Amino acid sequence: MIDTNSLDFAKGDGLIPAIIQDAHSFQVLMLGYMNKKALEKTLTDKRVTFFSRSKQRLWTKGETSGNHLDVVDIQQDCDNDTLLILANPKGPTCHTGEQSCFHQKDFKPQKNLTFLGDLEDVIIRRKQEMPENSYTTSLFNDGIDKIAQKVGEEAVETVIEAKNEEHSLVDEVSDLIYHLMVLLVAKGVPLQTIVKNLEERHSK
């Protein structure tokens, strides 16, 4: 991912700040500090480890709570003295139980297409946990054929609503996207793979 020897730890007396960002939603989760050993452990374990300034030791996020941060990618800034880490959070990041340490009530970032990443995470958890009384669970229980059938039905209804101004096209498109995402999870195809494919087509 990065070369630890290229980083300027001396500027911060052996520490560099590390900004943690959700790999799906791109929400900033927290800020911590790393020394070279903490970064090396993070790279080896693929799990975020900081240097605790209060405890004066290495500290793996979630070592007590279980709310780990699994590393997806790491990049350094132009001055080689700050890190940006994309991670998949396993549970709330903040000790208060909030998803992010930046959760002030008067600061509400606008939701955008990154919500689809959050929805994908929910669908994946439904497939793993299969909770009762869940519509998504019932779809997975019915199998690929039923899921594919629902995608087809929602696609037809979307076309019909597109030609009928008296009803809601938005609702039908939402149903179509949801069932399509369930199909992708059932087939083991990450949403990011579709995004990458679209990006590659756009560049041609």
**Interval 186-196: pLDDT, tens:** 999 999 899 88
Residue 142 lies in a domain: yes
Q: Which helix (H) or strand (E) holds 67?
A: none
Q: Which residues sit opposite 89 in a β-bridge?
A: 69
- Same domain? 78 vs 119: no
**What is the sign of the dihedral through the CA atoms of 1, 58, 31 and 71?**
positive
Strands 28-34 and 16-22: antiparallel
Residue 107 lies in a domain: no
User: Taking a C-beta distance cutoff of 8 angstroms, is the pair 148, 183 a contact?
Assistant: yes
Task: Give the domain range for residue 162.
Answer: 115-203
| Higher per-residue confidence, 195 vs 125 | 125
- Same domain? 195 vs 120: yes
Q: How do residues 19-51 score in pLDDT, each as one tens digit?
A: 999 887 788 999 999 999 999 999 999 999 999
CA distances from residue 90 to 66, 67, 144, 161 in whole angstroms, order as listed:
7, 5, 28, 39
| Higher per-residue confidence, 97 vs 180 | 180
- Same domain? 81 vs 134: no
- Same domain? 134 vs 85: no
- Same domain? 136 vs 65: no
Q: How do residues 141-163 score in pLDDT, each as one tens digit?
A: 999 999 999 999 999 999 999 98
pLDDT at residue 196, as a whole number: 86
Report the distance separating Cα 109 and Cα 23, nearest Å. Answer: 16
Question: What domain count does the chain have?
Answer: 2
